[in-house]
Amino acid sequence: MLEGKTGLIFGIANKRSIAWAIAQAVAQAGARLAVTYQNERLERKVRELVGQLERPLILPCDVTRDDELDAVFEAVGREFGGLDFLVHSIAYAPREDLEGDFVQTTRAGFGIAHEVSVYSLIGMARRALPLMETRGGGSIVTMTYLGGERAVPNYNVMGVAKAALESTVRYLAYYLGPRGIRVNAISAGPIKTLAAAGVSGFSRMLGMYAQLAPLRRNTDPSEVADTALFLCSSLSRGITGEVIHVDGGYHIVGMPDIDQMAAWRDKDAPE
Residue tagged active-site, from 145, 174, 175, 209: 145
Average pLDDT in the 217-235 region?
Answer: 96
142 belongs to a structural domain: yes
pTM of the model: 0.91
Q: Is 119 a catalytic residue?
A: no
Average pLDDT in the 104-110 region?
Answer: 96
Residue 117's closest CA among 96, 138, 145? 145
Confidence of residue 28 (pLDDT cuts 50, 70, 90): very high
**Beta bridge partner(s), residue 35:** 9, 58
15 belongs to a structural domain: yes
Q: In whole numbers, what is the pLDDT of the chain averaged over residues?
A: 91
Confidence of residue 197 (pLDDT cuts 50, 70, 90): low
- Residue 120 Cα distances to 93, 127, 267, angstroms: 14, 11, 42
Residue tagged active-site, from 37, 92, 155, 250: 155
186 belongs to a structural domain: yes
The answer for residues whose C-beta is within 8 angstroms of residue 49's C-beta and 6 or more apart is: 12, 14, 15, 20, 23
The CATH number that applies at residue 127 is 3.40.50.720
The answer for residues whose C-beta is within 8 angstroms of residue 6's C-beta and 6 or more apart is: 31, 32, 33, 34, 76, 80, 82, 83, 84, 85
Query: CA-CA distance, 267 to 271, in Å (whole number)?
Result: 10
Domain range spanning residue 12?
A: 6-268
Diameter of the chain by CA atoms? Answer: 63
93 belongs to a structural domain: yes
Number of domains the chain contains:
1
DSSP class per residue in 119-153: IHHHHHHHHHHHHHHTTT-EEEEEEE-GGGTS--T
Residue 76 is predicted with a pLDDT of 98
Q: Is 145 a catalytic residue?
A: yes
123 belongs to a structural domain: yes
1 belongs to a structural domain: no
**Beta bridge partner(s), residue 195:** none
**Pairing outcome for strands 181-188 and 32-37:** unpaired
73 belongs to a structural domain: yes
